[in-house]
Structure 1
Amino acid sequence: MLQAWRSKPWRLLWVILLALVLLLLWVPQPAAAQSALDGFDPDANDVVLSVVVQTDGKVLLGGGFTLLGSQTRNRIARLNADGSVDASFDPNANGAVNTLALQPDGKILVGGNFTSIDGQLRNNIARLHANGTLDTTFDPGVGADAPVQSLVVQSDGRVVIGGDFRAVDGQTRNFIARLNANGALDTAFNPGASDPVYSLVVQPDGKVLAGGFFSNMGGVPRNYVARLNADGTLDATFSPSPDDVVRSLAVLADGKVLMGGTFNSVDGQTRRNIARLNANGTLDTTFQNLEGNNDVLSLAVQPDGKVLVGGRFSTLGGQSRNNIARINADGTVDAGFDIGADGTTVFSVAVQPDGRALVAGEFATVGGQARNRIARLNADGTLDVGFNPDASNTVTSLAVQPDGKVLVGGQFTTLGGQARNRIARLNADGTLDAGFNPDASGTVNSLAVQPDGKVLMGGAFATVGGQTRNRIARLNVDGTLDAGFNPNASGTVNSLAVQPDGKVLMVGAFATVGGQARSRIARLNADGTLDVGFNPGASGGLVYSLALQPDGKVLVGGLFTTLGGQARSN
């Protein structure tokens, strides 16, 4: 062998082999498959029972935990959008928090099995300011005499609560009650359930769906689910009949109702643990019989109509799904969504505005990776590594141009590591458009692209590109300020829409536009001057959103109580 090595041909062969080995070691190997999880890992030390996403992307958590990561948080906490603990928010409940709800003004309703929050007496129901301190203006008196399991805010600010209680503030209320906006018991609302109420949902028309253990509501037979009119009387037209407990309810865009629980049949037909009802309460037989093999405890509807399902099941629709699944609008299981939380319960699911999904419960792993009791999933179950504009603060508005570029508005001051004050434009691949830099002095709430490519922007700013523009402005296609357009609103502009004739609708918190009285809603001519013939006038609260119908009529939404002098609630 030594003699062979000394010969030139063998030496050449060995050199070639050594070179190939070194080349293989040097060449980068393919990256491991991306996880469906992102870097969001709050790490709760005990069960998470409720999760709510705030409009700014922060996440409220309630449950039985006392630690998140290494920080003490007793049963209620708030996370920043990246999953880190919000250090400024620490209400400190002395017992389990079962349910949370966010009011439009940012205040937070809390229900559970506690006797104090923020060091002050509150029996099972309380309200917090947005900063986590106790709201003392909301006073339920002696509170509920047993745990509150569900609560929901009505459009008028009143709060419906359900649970195990039989009295609220010393007055008989069997398992369901309503509080006024100040926390006092609404004495006119007293449906009375025969057994605990565990799920509540307010429909867009103000009616209230209730699910739970009960067999009658208001003295009338209702098996496990019922619907109340806005005044608390029973809706006699709605009478489905599941054969066991309803734990979760969700209203779909078409008015149909999804319900989950521990039932085996609805209206005498086999439906195991999940079913869909028509708006009148009859069973929707067009919806797949999914036959979940165990409890469905939480439902969350995505903007595209798909529904996230959480519980303690291992199969759904005949497919293996560990405690978390997604179903398509027709009721079939979404084959592309199969992440799996290990063999323990998912109690709560929620959809973020960006399409990502939050799941919370008792699990320790998700998708095979350590995630203690709370995790976040991407919309398609995989990490998007190609699109990462990286805004330094909240993004409140997006608009897509016909060329595929994306306009971005919000509170950020950098995007992709480059200075961009509250408005920017991205190329279609998510990189920053270096030539577009309007520079707004305050938040941009709304963006709209005109047919000619010019860009309308509304918000809380006072200057754009260093020039005075009070809360509304128009940009040329290249991002420079359109000098001829200056409507001058006296208060924040929340939403904008361009009509086919080029006129511009605007809503918000303003009282004047162009020096003339316009209460929260106005219309501009195409040149930015006020349309003097259009003056609906909203009162009682702000207008937050508007949309144009194909027939030219305009939908508006917000917190108002009158429009054009006529009663219109929100």
Structure 2
Amino acid sequence: RLKSNGVLDEEWGGVVVGINGGVFDVGTLSDGKVIIGGEFTEISGYSRNSYARLHFNGELDRNFDPGDGANGPIFAVALQPDGNILFGGQFTQVGEYEQNNITRVFGGEQFALGRVEFRTPRIEYDEGVATYELKVIRSGKVQEPVTVQYKTVDGTAKEGEDYTAATGDITFEKGGREATISISLLDDELAEGSESFTIELTSEAVGIDLGGRTSMEVVVIDNESSASLDQLAYEVRESDGEVVLAVNRFGGLGEESTVNYAVIAITATADEDYNAAATGVLTFAPGAASASLIIGIVDDLIEEPTEQLAVTLSDPSEGLTLVGELTATVTVLDNDQPVPGLTTFEKGMIPPDSGWSSSGSKPWYAQTDQVYEGSYALRSGKITDSQESILVLERETGAGTGSFHVKISSEQDWDYLEFAVNGRVLAKWSGRVNWRKFEFPLQAGNNRLEWRYRKDPSTFAG
């Protein structure tokens, strides 16, 4: 530090500070104390990793104890109006917390007793083990002793049935950074799946920071083998192609076990809306915690309302118990919504006022015997010798490519199906032609598409 006249202030810092590494940035608090950041691990014989607070005379302020500090260098220090401090640097952890390259710490005395919290917010324990110990940690300023309180709170696990209720005090002695809470689980003989309760930390002590993990979820893993549906309602679109229903198993995973299922149509129809065996068996392999049932969903071209089916579980193998609701509902959302300007024949007719029309000796009609996709296709009228059946579509379109699928069965080289656009014949088919796709160019504006089936004067075939 320099004096106001630029002369070195020999009474401040220097050798007294004893920093074993570089200092890259400093900041001055309103009370005259100094925050430093850099790449060091020790100041005046005390462990300080990358940041510290100094008194106004440059000596280490031991009341500001960052614990493990940062695990990498700090290059920038910024002081906020509330006295808290922002650090920027090249680090991934500060104290007990994952912090990537930027963090904020308390710079004043509002948390003179440090922070107390659980080491983890969630933990799983086996029902069959009677007692467990949970870790509670203290970070920041640990120069003074502090006491906090804890209590258990019911969740799906209930005190007296699944665990023993507990309340009490946790005391950290001077310099202490870790304490334990003992909890007792009750091993019943009920197959009930995993359950949980919480433990909460509280304190009325002034100067303690309880802003971290002050609540821990304790999950009790059932040691009686049970199985349940992962969820009770599924929603799937036709275009998804399938839906996967999961069944979860708890406790006793070492052996193979099975459960029967039934797929029940509600408003959906088997083989038309979904593909699945009406009944079957789900098998849990040794060690497996779940098994899945895959139901195929049929993506048809029929406009239809939302439909449903259900899956029900029953008859578990010996040693396995089914718990919870045993039926899941699958809702299938139709994706065949009307498209402006698009005409389908799925109502079994040529829609009126659609731009489609038919004329000739016998009109074209919608039928279900010969279909490429969907439920209906248009077929030429059943004409005889020297007759014709004409199908016309007149429609305003943009420029692009049109297409249709065609199938022919006629007298080879005598009876023909012709396709024309705006009076120009683009294709002719005769004989036996299985379903094939035909594409054609369209100009922008009004277009007239015509399919004309003609039979020759003599009788032979087709």
TM-score, length-normalised on structure 1? 0.19
Determine which structure has greater relative contact order: mean sequence separation of CA pairs < 8 Å that are 6+ residues apart, divided by chain length: 2
Q: Which has the higher strand share?
A: 2
